[in-house]
Amino acid sequence: MTDPLQQFDWKSSSYERPGDAWVCGRACAGAPCRLGPSADGECSVRSQCTPEKIGDRYRCTRSVLYGGKCADGPNPDGTCCQADESCQPAMSLMKRRKIAGVICASISLAVCLILFSDSTPLTLVSPGKVTSAHAALEANCTACHVAGEAHSGLLSNAFLSRNSLADSEKCLKCHQDIGDAPWAPHSVAGHLLAESTANAAVSSNSFGVSGKPGGYVHSGQQLACATCHQEHHGRSFDLAELSDQQCQTCHKTQFDDFAHGHPEFENFPHETRPNIYFDHARHINAYFAAVDLPSQTLDKDSLTACSTCHQQDAAGGMMLTADFQHTCAGCHESQIVDLPFPGVPFFAVTQVAEDSDTEQDEVSVYGQWPVTESSLRQMPPVMSLLVHGDTAGIGSLSMTPELIWQCKELLLRVRNVGEVALAERVPESHSLLHGILCELAPLLITVSSSWFPGLRDELAAHTAEQPLPNFPDVATPEHQAMPPVRGWYISDGDRTIRYRPVAHADPVLRRLLDYLVPRIGQESVSTELVELFTALSNPSGSGEIHRSGPLATGRCLSCHTTSTDRDGTLRVNWNTKVLGDYFAFTRFRHDPHTQIDVANSCLTCHQILNDQQQLDFYRPEYFRRDDLGLWQPQPETSCPLTSGLGPVKRSHCASCHNESTASHGCLECHNYHVHGP
Amino acid sequence: MTHFVRRRITGLTLVVVLSLLLTAATRLMEDNLLRPRTWLGWVLVVIVLFLASYRLRKQLAMLPLGASAAWLQCHIYVGLLSAPVFLLHTGARWPGGGIEVVTAVLFLTVFCTGILGLFLTRMIPPRLTDRGEEVIRERIPVFIRILREEAEASVAGAKNAAPSEVLSDVYLNHLHSFFQRPKNFVSHVFHSTKPRTALLNALDDTRRFLNTQHEQTMEQLAACVRRKDDLDYQYAMQSLLKYWLFLHVPLTWGLVVFTCSHVVTAMAFTSR
C-alpha cells in the first residue's frame, strides 16, 4: 500500500481555483508557486528587489513576503544579487474557453453584419430555392417581398410593421385571375360565399361551414397567400398542397374520406339548372323514337348517340354541346321560321278608347288618325314607352286624343332629326333599346309620310289653336294577308310596324329580351314592359298579347332558361354552358374517364331516367301559369330543372377514387380558388 | 429505485410527453392554417436562450437563482426537448438558405456535443473512482513531478547501494520522457492499457540483468510507472470532461447570433 499522493490537510493542500483566468507558468512542470499569478496575468513572485542607497552603500529592500533580506546583499553596482525567478503565467482552460466563445460569436456577428450590409445582395439571406415556376424571380427579392426593398428596414419590418397583405399584393401582379376578393376564403367575397353556403345548406348532406368566431368566412379575416403557399422549399415543392384536414378548418362536417361520408351527388346533374330546357329522357324515349321524326339532318341512330350532340373540348376536360344548327335545328328550326306569327308590333295606329271624352267631331279633336277595322285596340309597349318618354308607364295602353297629339309630335320630330328623336325618349341606361330604335326610325319616317300626309300642317294648326285643316282619308288595302317577309315591315292593313323573327338567334329579339328580362319582376317595371315580355315569352307562340295559340317550342324563352347573376340581375342564358366568371368549386375532366369504358362511357355515369311519369311539355319546373292562365317561363332560379339524367352515384366514383388509389383527397375534385371556367 | 433513476425517468417522461403535445399542437395548427412553424420558431428561440443562460447562471453565483444542480437538470431535459422542437420547426427538412443552414449546423453541433457531454459526465466519474487515486486535475503535474523525482532518486541509488547502469539505461530509454508530462492521452480515452503493459514488460525484460538489490529498485520503478499511468488516466478522463465544453460553449454563442439573424430575416420576410 503506497501513500496517497494527494493530501488534504490545510498545510499541504492549497485551494485550487480552476475558474481563475491565469495559472502559474511553472504549473505544467509540476512546480507552481503558492502565490500564483495576479488577476491581470502577471507573476506575483518578487525574488529581486531594488536596493536602496544609503550614503555610499546599498541596502537590500526585499520584503519578508518574498523571503526577506538576502544574506549576500546587493551587488557593488547597486543591482540585486538574486536571480529573476518570475514566470510567464499561462491562460487557464476557463480563460481559453471564454476566448474561443468570444471568437466564435465575433465571427458569427461579422458574418451576419456582412450579410445584412447594404452592399451584400439580399439573395444571400434567401432561406432556400423557390419553385421552378418562380425561379426567374429568385434573384429579385423585391419582386415578392416588401421587406426586400431596403436593408435598413429589416428590423422595423421584422418587429414593428405588420403589413400582413403587402407581400400578397405583389403576388397579384402576376396572378391577376384570382378574383375580386383574392384574400377572402376561396377568393370569393364574404357575402357571396355566405350566400353560396346558405344555398348548399339546403341539402341535408351539404358541407357545413364553421359558425364559430374562428371561421374565416364569418370573421371576415383575410388570408395572405403565404398562409397556404409556402415558398423556398426547393424547385419541385408543391406550392398548392393542401391537406383534407386543412379544408376542414372551415368545413366542419367531417368525414373519413371520399368513399366514407362524402355527401351524395343528389342534385348533380339531373337537377342542376341547365342553360337550355332539354329533357334527355323525353327526347330519347318519346321524340327520337317517333316514326315521323321531322329531323332533316339527323337519322334515328345518330340521334341516340351522345356524341352527336356532345363532344369534348380541345383540352379534353369539358363536354361541349354542338351548336343549334347541328342539333336542335333538324326538328325545331321550322317551328321558329314557319310559325304563323305576324310579328311583334312596335308602332301602331290604334283605335281610340271608347271612353275618351270626344263628343265633338273626332277629326276636329285629334286630326288625321287613319285607323282601320283591324287596328290594334292598345298601343304596342315600345310605342307607349316612346310616346310617354319614360319607362314608368301610365298603367294603360289605351289611346287618347292627348296621346295622339304626342304621337304625332314624335313622328314629326323623327322625320326632322331621325333616330335621335327616339333615343332621347328612353334613358341612357336603356342602351340595349337604342339599336332597335335605330332600325325602327326609318320605318316611322316612312309611315309619317304615307299615313299622315298633313302632319306638319296639323301640328302647326294645333299649336296655334286654329281649326285643323282637312285632308283626304288614307286608303286602306282590302286584303290583309300574312306578309312573306321577315324582319321589319309595315302593315298597312292594321296600320302597324312589326318585326318578324328572321331565324334562330334573331338579333332584334335577343336584344329585346336582354333588355326586358332583367326588368321583369322589379317593382318599378312599367306595364308596357310586362306586356311586351308576356308577348315574347309566351310559349304558346300566338304572337298576340293575351291570346293563346298553337304549340310551338321555337320561341326564345321556351328553350333558353333564365338565371340570376350575383348582383341579382335576371338574364337569359343564350349559351349552352356558362363560360364566364363563376364559382368553379368542382372540376372534372371527361377525357380520362371516358377511356375506362369506351362503349358505354357516357351512360356509365349519366343514366337516362326512364321511369318518369310526367311527360307533358309544360312541366312545372319549366313553366308556370299566371293569373290569366297563360304559360310563363319559370324565372325562379332556385327551381331545379330536370335534364332527364339520373344523379351520378358517388359509390361509382369511389370504386376508383379510394384509399387504395390514393386519389380521394379534397383537391382531387375541388378547387380552392374558384374563379375561371 | 434510486433517486437518480426516478429523476431520469421523470425527466425523460416529461420530455416525451411535451414532445407529443407539441407534435399534436403543430398538427392541429397546421390543420387550422395557423402557421405552427413560426410559433415553434419562437419556442425554439426561448429554448436556445434559456439553455445559453445556464452559463450565465454559473457566473452569477451571487444571485439567488436557484441551485446550480437544478439548473443543470433543467438544462439537460430542455436541451433534449429542443431536438423534437427543432424537427417540428424545420418540418424534418434540411434548410436551403445560407443563414438557415449555418444555424441548423450550429444547432445540431451544439446539441450533439451536449449529448456527448451528458454521456461523458455520466460515464467517466465511475471510471475515475475505479482506477487509481482520485486527484484534482490541476494538481496532477505536481504529482507527476513527485513521482519523477522519486523514480530518479531510485535510479540514482539508495544510500548504501551503488547505482546500476542497467537501471540508468532503462530509465533514460523508457521512463525519462514518460515521467515528464501526462502521456498516452488517446489510449486512456479508449481505455487501452497497451502502453502501460508495454512499459512494464520492458522493465521486466531487464530484470534478469539485475541483482537482488537492484531488483527491489526495479520494483519501486514499476510501482512509480503504475501510479504515473493512473495519473495519466485521471488526467485524460478529467480533460475529456473539460474539453467537450470547448465545442459546446463557444458554438452556443455562434448559435445565438445566427438564431437572432434568422429571426430577423424570417420575421421581416414572412407574410403574416
Contact (Cβ atoms closer than 8 angstroms) between residue A670 and residue A633: no
Whether residue A329 is found in the same domain as residue A364? no
Is position A439 within any domain? Answer: yes
Phi, psi of A257 (to 5 degrees): -160, -170
Which residue of A lies nearest to B267 if distances are taken between CA atoms?
A158
Q: Say if A155 is an interface residue toward chain B (CB within 8 Å).
A: yes
pLDDT band at B23 (very low <50, low <70, confident <90, very high): very high
Whether residue A351 is found in the same domain as residue A301? no
Q: What is the pLDDT of residue A242?
A: 84
Is residue A282 scored above 80 in pLDDT?
A: no
Of A4, A125, A233, the CB nearest to B265: A125
C-alpha cell at A302: 345518330
Contact A104 B146 (CB under 8 A): no
pLDDT tens digits, B104-127: 999 999 999 999 999 999 999 999
Of B254, B264, B266, the CB nearest to A108: B254
Q: Say if B223 is an interface residue toward chain A (CB within 8 Å).
A: yes
Residues of B in contact with A233 (CB under 8 A): 93, 96
Mean pLDDT of A45-69: 83
Residues of A in contact with B99 (CB under 8 A): 112, 115, 125, 127
Contact A164 B271 (CB under 8 A): yes
Whether residue A495 is found in the same domain as residue A348? yes
Distance from CA of B101 to the nearest CA of A (A): 9
Q: Which helix (H) or strand (E) holds A54?
A: strand A52-54
Contact A100 B143 (CB under 8 A): no
**Using CA atoms, how far apart are residues B246 and B255, in angstroms rounded to an integer?**
14
For A610, residues 6+ apart whose C-beta sits below 8 A from its C-beta are A281, A285
pLDDT band at A164 (very low <50, low <70, confident <90, very high): low
Contact (Cβ atoms closer than 8 angstroms) between residue A606 and residue A644: no
Whether residue A401 is found in the same domain as residue A324? no
Q: Say if A223 is an interface residue toward chain B (CB within 8 Å).
A: yes
Number of A/B CB contacts below 8 angstroms equals 157
Burial class of residue A615, CB neighbours in 10 A (0-12, 13-18, 19+): exposed
Mean pLDDT of A136-152: 79
C-alpha cell at A63: 520584503
**Using CA atoms, how far apart are residues B125 and A430, in angstroms rounded to an integer?**
97
For A235-249, letters b (16+ CB in 10 Å) and e give: eebeeeebebebbbb
| Mean pLDDT over the full length of chain B | 90
Distance from CA of A18 to the nearest CA of B (A): 8
* H runs (alpha helix) in A283-400: 300-303, 306-309, 329-337, 362-366, 381-388
Q: Say if A150 is an interface residue toward chain B (CB within 8 Å).
A: no
Q: Say if B241 is an interface residue toward chain A (CB within 8 Å).
A: no
Whether residue A352 is found in the same domain as residue A439? yes
Contact (Cβ atoms closer than 8 angstroms) between residue A234 and residue A610: no
Distance from CA of A100 to the nearest CA of B (A): 6
Task: Give the CA radius of gyration of chain B.
Answer: 27
Which residue of A lies nearest to B250 if distances are taken between CA atoms?
A101
Q: What is the pLDDT of residue A552?
A: 39
Is residue B189 scored above 90 in pLDDT?
A: yes
Domain ranges of chain B: 3-131+244-269, 137-241
**Using CA atoms, how far apart are residues B249 and A308, in angstroms rounded to an integer?**
79
The interface residues of chain A toward chain B in range 312-341, judged by CB-CB distance below 8 A, are none
pLDDT band at A545 (very low <50, low <70, confident <90, very high): very low
Q: Say if A213 is an interface residue toward chain B (CB within 8 Å).
A: no
pLDDT band at A150 (very low <50, low <70, confident <90, very high): low
Q: Say if B30 is an interface residue toward chain A (CB within 8 Å).
A: yes
Q: Say if A442 is an interface residue toward chain B (CB within 8 Å).
A: no
Helix axes B3-31, B36-59, angle to 10 degrees: 150
DSSP output for B195-218: HHHHHHHHHHHTGGGS-HHHHHHH
Q: What is the pLDDT of residue A543?
A: 43
Contact B246 A97 (CB under 8 A): yes
Phi, psi of B261 (to 5 degrees): -60, -40
Is position A597 within any domain? Answer: yes
Query: Between A655 and A615, where is the model more confident?
Result: A655
Is residue B101 scored above 90 in pLDDT?
A: yes
Is residue B86 scored above 60 in pLDDT?
A: yes
Is residue A634 scored above 80 in pLDDT?
A: no
Which residues on adjacent β-strands are paired with residue A572? A562
Whether residue A347 is found in the same domain as residue A487? yes
Residues of A in contact with B264 (CB under 8 A): 116, 154-155, 158
Whether residue A294 is found in the same domain as residue A346? no
Which residue of B lies nearest to A231 if distances are taken between CA atoms?
B270
**Cα(first)–Cα(last) distance of chain B, in Å?**
51
Is residue A628 scored above 80 in pLDDT?
A: no
Q: Alpha carbon of B253 to those of A212, A366, B106, B113: distances in Å? A: 45, 106, 10, 14
CA A501, A503, A504: angle at the middle one, nearest 5?
Answer: 110
Contact (Cβ atoms closer than 8 angstroms) between residue A159 and residue B268: no
The dihedral built from the CA positions of residue A371, A375, A377 and A381, taken in this order, carries a sign that is negative
Is residue A603 scored above 60 in pLDDT?
A: yes
Is residue A300 scored above 80 in pLDDT?
A: no
Burial class of residue A350, CB neighbours in 10 A (0-12, 13-18, 19+): buried
Q: Tell me, what amino acid is at A617?
A: F
Which residue of B lies nearest to A24 if distances are taken between CA atoms?
B138
Contact A97 B97 (CB under 8 A): no
**Using CA atoms, how far apart are residues A194 and A477, in angstroms rounded to an integer?**
63
**Using CA atoms, how far apart are residues A467 and A462, in angstroms rounded to an integer?**
7
Distance from CA of B217 to the nearest CA of A (A): 15
From A454, A484, A499, give the residue that closes a domain: A499
- Cell numbers 358505354 correspond to what residue? A600
Interface test with B, best of A2, A14, A112 (most B CBs within 10 A): A112
Is residue A116 scored above 90 in pLDDT?
A: no
Q: Tell me, what amino acid is at A132?
A: S
pLDDT band at B47 (very low <50, low <70, confident <90, very high): very high
Is residue A310 scored above 50 in pLDDT?
A: yes
Q: Alpha carbon of B232 to those of A156, B195, B224: distances in Å? A: 57, 11, 12
Q: Say if A484 is an interface residue toward chain B (CB within 8 Å).
A: no
Mean pLDDT of B247-262: 95
Local structure of A511: helix, strand or coil:
helix
Local structure of A614: helix, strand or coil:
coil
Whole-model pTM: value is: 0.68
pLDDT tens digits, B217-244: 889 899 999 999 999 999 999 999 999 9
**Using CA atoms, how far apart are residues B59 and B50, in angstroms rounded to an integer?**
15
Is residue B37 scored above 80 in pLDDT?
A: yes
Of A31, A109, A127, the CB nearest to B145: A31
**Using CA atoms, how far apart are residues B263 and B97, in angstroms rounded to an integer?**
13
Which residues on adjacent β-strands are paired with residue B130? none
pLDDT band at B182 (very low <50, low <70, confident <90, very high): very high
Q: Say if B138 is an interface residue toward chain A (CB within 8 Å).
A: yes
Q: Say if B270 is an interface residue toward chain A (CB within 8 Å).
A: yes
Highest mean pLDDT among A156-160, A480-484, B76-80: B76-80
CB count within 10 Å of CB A425 equals 19
**Using CA atoms, how far apart are residues A512 and A380, in angstroms rounded to an integer?**
14
Whether residue A271 is found in the same domain as residue A417? no
pLDDT tens digits, A166-188: 888 888 888 888 877 888 888 88
In SS3 terms, A638-664 reads as: CCCCCCCECCCCHHHHHCCCCCCCCCC
**Using CA atoms, how far apart are residues A247 and A672, in angstroms rounded to an integer?**
9
Distance from CA of A150 to the nearest CA of B (A): 11
Mean pLDDT of A420-438: 80
Contact B254 A246 (CB under 8 A): no
Contact B99 A115 (CB under 8 A): yes
C-alpha cell at A427: 334613358
Task: Determine which of A427-431, A458-462, A537-541, B110-114 has the lowest per-residue pLDDT on average.
Answer: A537-541
Contact B258 A16 (CB under 8 A): no
pLDDT tens digits, A4-28: 888 887 777 777 888 889 998 888 8
Q: What is the pLDDT of residue B149?
A: 92
Whether residue A413 is found in the same domain as residue A471? yes
pLDDT band at A578 (very low <50, low <70, confident <90, very high): low
| Mean pLDDT over the full length of chain A | 76
pLDDT tens digits, A645-668: 888 888 888 888 888 888 888 888
Distance from CA of A28 to the nearest CA of B (A): 6
Mean pLDDT of A233-240: 88
pLDDT band at A115 (very low <50, low <70, confident <90, very high): confident
Query: Between A638 and A431, where is the model more confident?
Result: A431
From A478, A499, A520, give the residue that closes a domain: A499
ipTM: 0.90
Q: What is the pLDDT of residue A551?
A: 36
Return left, alpha or beta for A273; rule: phi > 0 is left, psi -120 to 50 is alpha, else beta: beta
Interface test with A, best of B225, B269, B270 (most A CBs within 10 A): B269
Residues of B in contact with A245 (CB under 8 A): 30-31
CB count within 10 Å of CB A448 equals 20
Which residue of A lies nearest to B258 if distances are taken between CA atoms?
A108
Task: Determine which of A79-83, A517-521, B111-115, B150-154 has the lowest per-residue pLDDT on average.
Answer: A517-521
Contact A6 B133 (CB under 8 A): yes
Whether residue A371 is found in the same domain as residue A507? no
Is residue A212 scored above 50 in pLDDT?
A: no
Q: Say if A147 is an interface residue toward chain B (CB within 8 Å).
A: yes
The interface residues of chain B toward chain A in range 107-126, judged by CB-CB distance below 8 A, are none
**Using CA atoms, how far apart are residues A605 and A620, in angstroms rounded to an integer?**
26
Contact (Cβ atoms closer than 8 angstroms) between residue A334 and residue A294: yes
**Using CA atoms, how far apart are residues A418 and A581, in angstroms rounded to an integer?**
39
Residues of B in contact with A141 (CB under 8 A): 269
Strands A57-59 and A90-91: unpaired
pLDDT band at A615 (very low <50, low <70, confident <90, very high): very low
Domain boundaries, position A269:
265-339+501-648
Of B33, B254, B268, the CB nearest to A228: B33
Q: Count structural domains, chain A.
A: 2
Whether residue A487 is found in the same domain as residue A518? no
Mean pLDDT of A28-54: 84
Q: Say if A487 is an interface residue toward chain B (CB within 8 Å).
A: no
Report the candidate in B2, B45, B33 with the shortest Cα–Cα distance to residue B261. B45
